[in-house]
Amino acid sequence: MTERMVPAGDAQLCAEGFGSPDDPAILLIGGAAASMDYWEDEFCERIAAAGRHVIRYDLRDTGRSTAYPAGSPGYTGAELVTDALAVLDGYGLPAAHLYGISMGGGIAQEIAVLHPSRVQTLTLQSTSPAGPGGPDRPDLPPMEPQVAALFASEAPQPDWSDREAAIEALIEGERPFDGAIPPDLARVRAVVTRMYDRTTDVAASQTNHWILEGGELDRGKLAEITAPTLVLHGTADPLLPFPHAEALAREIPGARLVPLPGMGHQYPPRAVWDTVVAELVAHTA
């Protein structure tokens, strides 16, 4: 494991690799407001042990990557797409297997459409063909009430400079996204604490991704994806209920859907690691 800083336009992105650079590369693309710490070390090590070079990185405004003032991101959603390509360039990779989760799944879809030569295979977890459902997307179910209430809340944000209070708020903020698998609170605390301690500006990390403009893929473009695609999705996802995954798998030619029983909208909990690692290794063979 070695961290490095990779240039991406006016930003510097912190990235880290696991395993041998001679093995097939898998780029992990994280979700909104989440540093690469949420791709847990042991999870990455298990994939690397199966003969893969695993690369994770901090998106802009997370971890040690370039941070912008909270509420004023100096970039667009489209730049998060080109940032992933910059990470590949930083590792000298003309192409790689992409594994994106949530917003990272949207980024991976865009790369597969706009830059197909950079994608060997595509793995999409906890994501959607068009974002949260609603009146304008009647074929996709809306988020569960507890998640809708979280997004609609006008409660003031915590004092992000207060380490203990901020960590407690971040842990509490994950609860509405849990599924039926009991959360490992010690693990969650360890990940959140590491994220807090590595992040340049926690206020920016918890604000800026939610207000970005641009970078949204036209749903009709999914039919143009040629990369072999694996769709992983929790059956108890409260943000993007399971029919989002079914729609995604229908709209990407040849995509294969693997349900993850009881998982919510989250990075893979330990309970599904055996399934996720086996599916990912087979898919990227």
Q: Which two tokens stand for residue 43?
A: 């999870």
Q: Where are the beta strands (DSSP E) in the chain?
A: 2-8, 11-18, 25-29, 53-57, 96-101, 119-125, 229-234, 256-260
Place of tokens 């940032």: 83
Active-site residue, from 58, 61, 178, 237: 237
Q: Which two tokens stand for residue 157?
A: 């944000």
Neighbours of 262 (CB within 10 A): 16
**What are the Cα distances from residue 248, in Å, to 98, 126, 254?**
16, 10, 11
Task: Establish whether 237 is a catalytic residue.
Answer: yes
Task: Establish whether 22 is a catalytic residue.
Answer: no
Active-site residue, from 53, 209, 265, 283: 265
Half-sphere exposure (Cβ direction) of 25: Cα atoms closer than 13 Å: 20
Active-site residue, from 65, 102, 128, 205: 102
Would you please indicate which residues are annotated as catalytic (active-site) residues? 102, 237, 265
